[in-house]
Amino acid sequence: MQDAALHIGLIGMGTVGTQVADRLLNRRDTLRRRAGVELLLKRALVRDVDRQRGIEVPAGVLTTDPSALLDNPEIDVVVEVAGGDEPARSYLERAIRSGKHVVTANKVVMAKHGPELLELAGEMNVDVYFEAAVGGGIPLISTFKVDLLANEIQRIMAVINGTTNYVLGRMANQGLDLREAVLEAQTAGYAEADPTEDVGGFDAAYKLAIMASIGFGARVHPDQVYREGIEGIEPVDFRYARELGYDVKLLAYAARDGEGQIEARVHPVLLPHGHPLAAVEGPANAVYIEGDLVGPVLLQGLGAGGRPTASSVVGDIIDLARSIHRQVQNRAAFEFDPDVRVMSMDEVRSRAYFRCHVADRPGVLAKICTVFGEEGVSIASAIQKESDDVSAEFVVTTHPAADAALRRTRARIARLDVVDAVDSFLRVL
């Protein structure tokens, strides 16, 4: 760092990047007092320097040449908010190898390549900050890194995607179907034009991979996270859930078993009404962490959007600047044990909710219950309601069982001649 200033190269000036640049350019005095040094935006890598961005950027700052940041010896830290896997990963690795500190909001890169980048940063004696990669404006990484460092993390549960939480809330409260609720979320600015990454659970899986890796000291790749989206949920499921005492959420769940193995999964779940995560509404995010010393901890806030994400990014820059100014090494105390195994979903034990459309005649329930018994799945509750003169809706919740057995039960029931369809299959917490 030169001349008591931190010289910053910014990659990306979209929704988040514009907010970061605006804060760096127009709150310089405030940031200097908080950081202890001047925070100077030196260069910003963009696709189009002529595009209007709603803020005034000094001449010579914008560039389309990555080398102007990554190979510039005057730049101390590279801040990446462009998103995506490549070329962002390559840019970050290149910056680290050039001896530059890194701040990133990139969940895809940190989920897929985070451990490797952190280890490389340790070798190069630079820092990697990534608070904004998981919870947007929620202070998650710093919580794992500092506040919970003395704990053995036992379980992480999170409502970590604001789009799906908003969509499920509208389906639950207004009776909308999935298509209608997604369209409303898009109109409100909570969903992208292509909502697949959110609705399909991909975004939540990336974020859970990061949290599980950091929380459990394991290398959890997104491909190891079991994933189901919310595409199969219908408005009627919310009515049955409410009758049974549950809310429906897309849950990111990771836990450590007694032998050190971990499970990591993202899927819709029925949460008891009284659970803290059941009360998370709209586009908000929340993370529920259990540590052996501290017990349960709940962190909640806005998990996406330009302003909350920029809050975490700029906060990381300030923290980094303070460490450099005070000549304090703030290397993240993250270690990743390659021997920690991520369990397959077949090994996981869970409870389930089945909603079936069945023939309304004697012997139907006996056939269905026989399948449950043969698979070793115990029924906890059952509801049967007529839907017309010849068919009925049958809803079952189970006691804990191997998830593989639950899925086999679903498949076998669907093949019975007295069952028209298993319309819904959800896990129960």
- The answer to whether 413 touches 419, Cβ cutoff 8 Å, is yes
What per-residue confidence (pLDDT) applies to 139? 86
Catalytic annotation, residues: 207
Q: Where are the alpha helices (DSSP H) in 200-343?
A: 202-216, 235-244, 306-325
Lowest mean pLDDT among 144-148, 196-200, 312-316: 144-148
Closest CA to 96 of 74, 72, 122: 122
Overall CATH class of domain 143-302: alpha beta
Sign of the C-alpha dihedral, residues 52, 54, 59, 62? Answer: negative
Span(s) in the chain for CATH 3.30.360.10: 143-302
Stretch 120-132: mean pLDDT: 92
Produce one character per residue of 41-74: b if its CB has 16 or more CB atoms within 10 Å, e if not: bbbbbbeeeeeebeeebeeebbbeebebbbebee
Tell me the pLDDT of the chain averaged across its residues.
92
CA-CA distance, 199 to 161, in Å (whole number)?
A: 9
The first and second tokens of residue 284, run together, are 């908000």
Stretch 311-316: mean pLDDT: 94
Summarised one tens digit per residue, pLDDT across range 368-387 is 999 999 999 999 999 988 76
What per-residue confidence (pLDDT) applies to 238? 97
What per-residue confidence (pLDDT) applies to 333? 57
Where residue 284 falls (left for φ over 0; alpha for ψ -120 to 50; beta otherwise) is beta
Summarised one tens digit per residue, pLDDT across range 273-308 is 999 999 999 888 999 999 999 999 999 987 667 888
* Cα atoms found within 13 Å of the Cα of residue 30, Cβ hemisphere only: 8
Question: Binning pLDDT at 50, 70 and 90, where does residue 4 land?
Answer: confident
Summarised one tens digit per residue, pLDDT across range 321-353 is 998 888 766 555 577 888 889 999 999 999 999
What per-residue confidence (pLDDT) applies to 1? 46
Phi, psi of 221 (to 5 degrees): -90, 150
3-state SS class at 343: coil
- In CATH, which superfamily holds the domain spanning 348-428? ACT domain (3.30.70.260)
CATH of domain 5-136+306-325: 3.40.50.720
Closest CA to 132 of 309, 14, 320: 309
Summarised one tens digit per residue, pLDDT across range 221-275 is 999 999 999 999 999 999 999 999 999 999 999 999 877 799 999 999 999 999 9
Span(s) in the chain for CATH 3.40.50.720: 5-136+306-325
Summarised one tens digit per residue, pLDDT across range 32-85 is 999 999 999 999 999 999 998 889 999 999 999 999 999 999 999 999 999 999
